[in-house]
Structure 1
Amino acid sequence: MSHLDQYLHNGELGSVLLIDKPVGLTSFDVIYRLRRWHGVVKAGHAGTLDPLASGLLIICMGKETKNLHRFSNLDKEYVGTMELGIQTPSFDMETEVSERMDVSGVTIDGLKSIFERFVGRQLQMPPMYSAVKHKGKPLYKYARRGKILERKPREIEIRELVLTGFAPPTVEFKVLCSKGTYIRSLANDIGAALGCGAALTALRRTRIGAYTVENAVTLEQLEATKKANEPRSEEANDYRIPA
């Protein structure tokens, strides 16, 4: 039995893994695969990633699930891309474009000025396409039936918001934010402030607290190592967090 396989096999004793989630899977899909591969019943993640987003997931398994709060409250860092001049019901590309607008008046200086306005504590409205519950059901189930419900804004903090690229209509950015921040909503709000609309087209979580995606392992690497039943290379990153 390999070092990795033994570690995961003993997950009920408590394990914390850094996983690099690919685009296309839900956060629960990752949990399900780990449970199925290694026979671990209890597992949870510290911070959901949408299916269209990739990047760092912190997975707690076995007895370590009781310590999820250690990671859930940490700040999160993302790099992302938004497209100006479009709007979608989900604020990203999960749904079809519902409106197109002219972006010819947007300048890099104007964009930087808008970015500065979004730094700091603020109230953010959760999107209808989200897992926030209303009467026991996630909002996205109402949204898919065409219903728009009143929601309560939540206090968040954008600690850093940096413009890293601008080739109209594409905007690239990096953001450091508090827990509970919807980057889709941030993109939508920036588009509204610019007067031309915007939707998130790509998102990658690069850091949670001090834990970075560079030290994470992919599901393919986990599966390959398990199948090969060989010790993990000494050159591989250490994706485990000591309990």
Structure 2
Amino acid sequence: MNQVIETLLNHRSVRDFEDKPLTWEQVETIVASAQAASTSSFLQAYSIIGVTDREKKEKLAEVVGNQPYVAKNGHFFVFCADLHRHAVVGEMENVDVTSPIESTEKFMVAVVDASLAAQNAAAAAESMGLGICYIGGVRNNLEAVRQILKTPDHVLPVFGMAVGYPASLNDRKPRLPLRHVYMENEYQQDEQLYKKQLEEYNEIVAGYYAERTGGKRRDTWTGQMASMLEKKARMYMKEFVAKIKMNIR
């Protein structure tokens, strides 16, 4: 156990921030930490947009699902899968890169690159005593987000990250048991064991909610997931991604 591991294991989402902006030094450190993440073939296929303009933050808070902590935080980052830079590279070098940068493979590379950078940023922020919350709601209305952030073709805002000084902290949610997530040599073949592990996790999650709410709530994880997944959400994504010339080959 060391300070890095303690920081990682102590993660929880923060949705209540003090109204206090980050310093430029803090922002610079968080972004530099993001840039230190691994990147496939040195492509660095992502960009980070820091949103500080109050009006833009208010608009984003509305379009991502009326989440007030998108507007009230120390700094709001939007992590984008970005292949526009590589289209420009093709122009500069007089090379036709259209097919590769519009392929599913490079789309996946860009999303992975953005995700790796974001997790480095999150760990850096939390190591500085700050709180973070990922905002997947950025994908609720990508056309609106695109207009607010003025992103070009080949750039996909993947998620946001609210960062700031925590005004209050939630308890850490229990994760799936290690033996369910980590498998050796092959995927879990015993379906009955697989379900048993999920039932055991259900008991842990139900206990967490019961303690947190004084017995008013005993949700299970599988119940939550089934309820969420039976509802169609963001079904426009395939068409939108193709519209901005990504993942079409």
TM > 0.5 between the two? no
Q: Which has the higher strand share?
A: 1
TM-score (norm 1): 0.25
Task: Name which structure has the greater RCO, CA cutoff 8 Å, separation 6+.
Answer: 1
TM-score (norm 2): 0.24
